[in-house]
A and B are shown apart, each in its own frame.
Chain A
Amino acid sequence: MESLQLLVSGLANGCVYGLIALGFVLIYKATEALNFAQGDMMMLGAFVTLGLTNDHYWALPFWVSVPIALLLMGAFGYLLEITLLRRMSGQSQIAVVVLTVALGFIIRFLAGAIWGHEPQSLESPIAGVNVRFSGLVLGLDEVAVILVTIVLTGLLYLGFARTRLGLAMQAASQNQLAAYYMGIPVKRVSALIWCLSGVVATAAGILLASKGSIDPNSGFLGIKAFAAAVIGGLGSLPGALLGGLVIGVIEPFAARHVAAGFSQVVPYAVLLLVLIIRPSGILSQVRDKKV
């Protein structure tokens, strides 16, 4: 029973990692750019919702502030793309990495300046309510995290595979120039993907902030999400979720069974191991070119 409890809380944590990784993979899948600021966008989204909802700030009803926050963060992602990232097209990935790391500095500073550096939690209706499933005690927040993650991953996966916009995104990523020749509005597509990724990041942030607490440094969770995306296979949406779950489940079990002081390295050791055995992740997206 105890293992089961650990498993479920691990799954819930893993879903948060998976959600952050999802936003990360979206951008990678459509523009081949690595957004190191994804964790910070998640943090910002959480703080925007918190600023709208909590009594201490604007005290709007939760279900009103969530759509507003999603919209705001979507607009933020869109603006980021058209002001900064668009100018980076065709440049090396490292330059984009450095750019987004610097962006993370600024976002962290902004959040700290506006909402302070103390950890705060979101006053959401799903926080602190327990649900019982035949002896298993689950927080409603954990159930919500798992459900939202599964629904979002499914929707995004279908969106990429079935809709015109999804196909346009895939085409733009595989060969920008050819996609442009085929009449795909490449610029708008990549702006939209940043917008979408801002929305997904906010969803992750809201769930994280109602599960526990956030502070401006919560963005560093992005590194774990990053590891999750790579374990799953960079560029694969189900892979991001899978990687997140792997890391999320490993953590509580490692903390339980591995000696203290050694347990926090286990996820990264697993990451290295996966990369050595399967260089492009579990659900590999790398294919050989057919000539």
Chain B
Amino acid sequence: MRTVFKTSYDADLGLFVHRYQAFWYFLLLAVAIGLPFVMNDFWIGEVALMLIWAIAGMGLMLLVGHAGQPSLGHAAFMAVGAYTNVILQTSLGWPFLVSFPLSGCAAALAGALLALPTARLHGIYLAIATLAVSILAEDGIVMLAPWTGGVSGIFAPDITIFGVGFNRYVNAPGFYWLTLGVAVLVVLGYRNILRSPLGRSLVAVRDSEISAQATGVNLARTKAVSFALSCGVTGLAGALMGHFAGVFNHETFTIFLSITLLMMIVIGGLGSIHGAFLGAIVITFLPLAISIVREFLNERFGTASVMPPGIETAAFGAILIAFILLEPMGIYGRWVKIRTYFELFPFCRRDMFRRQRGYLRTERIR
């Protein structure tokens, strides 16, 4: 059992609670950097995809998990990021180092523009408004065919930074390190936002809009900023996703991508950065695991003929349901429980994490 004595206010603000925590995170970072030396290109590609999902998840997590504004439209902002990035590179000839941040800015601008008219919407109405935006964006890509390539799609050029190529197929470790770098930067930015006044006001808005207003939080401004930040980060992930996919069209950024993103952060655990990463691991590797199991079963028992098509999606759905029923706080919630058990050993009691029973009250009377 470890007790942290805080002797200054800096201890409250520090990025790490204590030195051991810092040690573990740096170890994790070192392992992540060394990963390409022990894995082949296929798996490195999958891990890079996981990191891209995690970046997009962090974007959505800021909005849903910390600011409490549900969004079913983040695929639209991934699309804005992906298309801006590629269009700037191909038609204006700008380098990746310029177009990549600009794609984030474009997505952030789009998010802020959406936040202005929807500032009055709450909860599920906001979710549905963003859902409409996601569907509109999908059709918008087709309508803007002269720029976006429409149905036939658009090719993402190879990334070249200072003469080094970062093509996913040619230089998989390079592409992986690039995504890792972006992910680390986003995590650092996210952590810093959370301990700034902005981060505190986001959480205040999430927990109670009325109390937040009473303590002097500017509601409209906070919501707009949270939308802009969230969409910006998701746009960056979209730009990376574009380079990862190589070629993409309107079907890459459907409403299902939005729903998958939301599922991801709910499974991972709402309201924590860890949750975005854990959810990304599930979303990336679960379909892979299911298909591996399926192939194993086919080889072993010859079940290929009785296995109906689409069973992967159904298995995915069933696992999702199990997750939500058994661990409502997400994977990160489970991890916190396990960690506390060992930290307090042998003083952990069974009911320490018992949730207070929640009762539903209507949101139609406020």
Which residues of chain A have a CB within 8 Å of any CB of chain B?
Answer: 31-32, 34, 84, 87-95, 97-99, 101-106, 108-110, 112-113, 117, 173-177, 180, 223, 226-227, 230, 234-235, 261-262, 264-265, 268-269, 271-272, 275-276, 279-280, 285-289
Determine whether the beta carbon of B121 is less than 8 Å from that of A275: yes
Known: A84-B321, A234-B125. A289 touches B366 (CB 8 A): yes
Known: A269-B136, A279-B121. A286 touches B366 (CB 8 A): yes
Q: Hey, which chain A residues are within 8 Å of B124, CB to CB?
A: 34, 93, 234
Bitwise interface map of B from 109 to 122 toward A, beta carbon under 8 Å scored 1, else 0: 00000000110111
Q: How far is the CB of B111 from chain A (nearest CB, A)?
A: 15
Closest to B150 in A: A261
Q: How far is the CB of A13 from chain B (nearest CB, A)?
A: 18
Selected interface stretch from B33-41, B184-192, B307-315 = B307-315
CA distance A256 to B123 in the complex (A): 35
CA distance A271 to B127 in the complex (A): 12
Q: Hey, which chain A residues are within 8 Å of B351, CB to CB?
A: none
Q: Is B325 an interface residue (CB 8 A)?
A: yes
**Residue in contact with B118 in the complex, picked from A34, A230, A275, CB distance below 8 Å:** A275
Q: A34-B124, A99-B321, A108-B310 are in contact. List 9 more A-B contacts (CB 8 A).
A: A87-B325, A90-B357, A94-B266, A98-B266, A176-B361, A223-B131, A269-B136, A279-B120, A279-B121
**Residue in contact with B263 in the complex, picked from A101, A108, A265, A280, CB distance below 8 Å:** A101
CA distance A73 to B294 in the complex (A): 31
Q: Is B324 an interface residue (CB 8 A)?
A: yes
Chain B facing A: main interface SS:
helix
**Residue in contact with A265 in the complex, picked from B128, B139, B359, CB distance below 8 Å:** B139
**17 A-B residue contacts at CB 8 Å?**
A34-B124, A94-B266, A95-B324, A97-B70, A98-B262, A98-B320, A103-B321, A105-B316, A105-B320, A112-B310, A113-B308, A235-B364, A264-B139, A271-B128, A275-B118, A275-B132, A286-B365
Q: Hey, which chain A residues are within 8 Å of B321, CB to CB?
A: 84, 99, 102-103, 106
Q: Is B328 an interface residue (CB 8 A)?
A: yes
Determine whether the beta carbon of A275 is less than 8 Å from that of B125: yes
Determine whether the beta carbon of B364 is less than 8 Å from that of A275: no
Q: Hey, which chain B residues are within 8 Å of A265, CB to CB?
A: 135-136, 139-140
Determine whether the beta carbon of B364 is less than 8 Å from that of A285: yes
CA distance A176 to B365 in the complex (A): 14
Closest to A109 in B: B314
CA distance A32 to B363 in the complex (A): 8
Q: Hey, which chain A residues are within 8 Å of B259, CB to CB?
A: 101
**Residue in contact with B328 in the complex, picked from A34, A95, A117, A174, CB distance below 8 Å:** A95
Determine whether the beta carbon of B143 is less than 8 Å from that of A268: no
Q: Hey, which chain B residues are within 8 Å of A276, CB to CB?
A: 117-118, 129
Q: Hey, which chain A residues are within 8 Å of B118, CB to CB?
A: 275-276
Residues of chain B in range 248-286 having any CB-CB distance to chain A below 8 Å: 255, 259, 262-263, 266-267, 270
CA distance A34 to B126 in the complex (A): 13
Determine whether the beta carbon of A230 is less than 8 Å from that of B360: no
**Residue in contact with A112 in the complex, picked from B123, B309, B358, B362, CB distance below 8 Å:** B309
CA distance A169 to B125 in the complex (A): 22
CA distance A157 to B151 in the complex (A): 45
CA distance A272 to B114 in the complex (A): 10
Q: Is B133 an interface residue (CB 8 A)?
A: yes
CA distance A230 to B70 in the complex (A): 16
Determine whether the beta carbon of A90 is less than 8 Å from that of B318: no
CA distance A86 to B185 in the complex (A): 41
Q: Is B317 an interface residue (CB 8 A)?
A: yes
Closest to A174 in B: B362
Which of A32, A84, A110 has the most CB atoms of chain B within a 10 A radius of its CB?
A: A32
Q: Is B64 an interface residue (CB 8 A)?
A: yes
Q: Hey, which chain A residues are within 8 Å of B318, CB to CB?
A: 102, 106
Q: What are the 4 tightest A-B residue pairs by CB atom distance, in nearest-first order?
A: A90-B358, A105-B317, A109-B314, A102-B320
Q: Hey, which chain A residues are within 8 Å of B361, CB to CB?
A: 174-176
Determine whether the beta carbon of A177 is less than 8 Å from that of B131: no
Bitwise interface map of B from 331 to 366 toward A, beta carbon under 8 Å scored 1, else 0: 000000000000000000000000001111111111
Q: Hey, which chain A residues are within 8 Å of B255, CB to CB?
A: 223
Determine whether the beta carbon of B125 is less than 8 Å from that of A89: no
**Residue in contact with B317 in the complex, picked from A102, A262, A264, CB distance below 8 Å:** A102
CA distance A223 to B308 in the complex (A): 26
Closest to A264 in B: B139
Closest to A235 in B: B364
Which of A34, A94, A223, A269 has the most CB atoms of chain B within a 10 A radius of its CB?
A: A94
Q: Hey, which chain A residues are within 8 Å of B136, CB to CB?
A: 265, 268-269, 272
CA distance A174 to B365 in the complex (A): 8
Q: Is B142 an interface residue (CB 8 A)?
A: yes
CA distance A94 to B125 in the complex (A): 12
**Residue in contact with A173 in the complex, picked from B311, B325, B362, CB distance below 8 Å:** B362
Determine whether the beta carbon of B132 is less than 8 Å from that of A227: yes
Determine whether the beta carbon of B133 is less than 8 Å from that of A272: yes
Q: How far is the CB of A166 from chain B (nearest CB, A)?
A: 15
CA distance A64 to B361 in the complex (A): 41
Q: How far is the CB of B116 from chain A (nearest CB, A)?
A: 10
Q: Hey, which chain A residues are within 8 Å of B310, CB to CB?
A: 108-109, 112-113
Determine whether the beta carbon of A175 is less than 8 Å from that of B362: yes
Determine whether the beta carbon of A227 is less than 8 Å from that of B128: yes
Known: A34-B124, A102-B263. A94 touches B270 (CB 8 A): yes
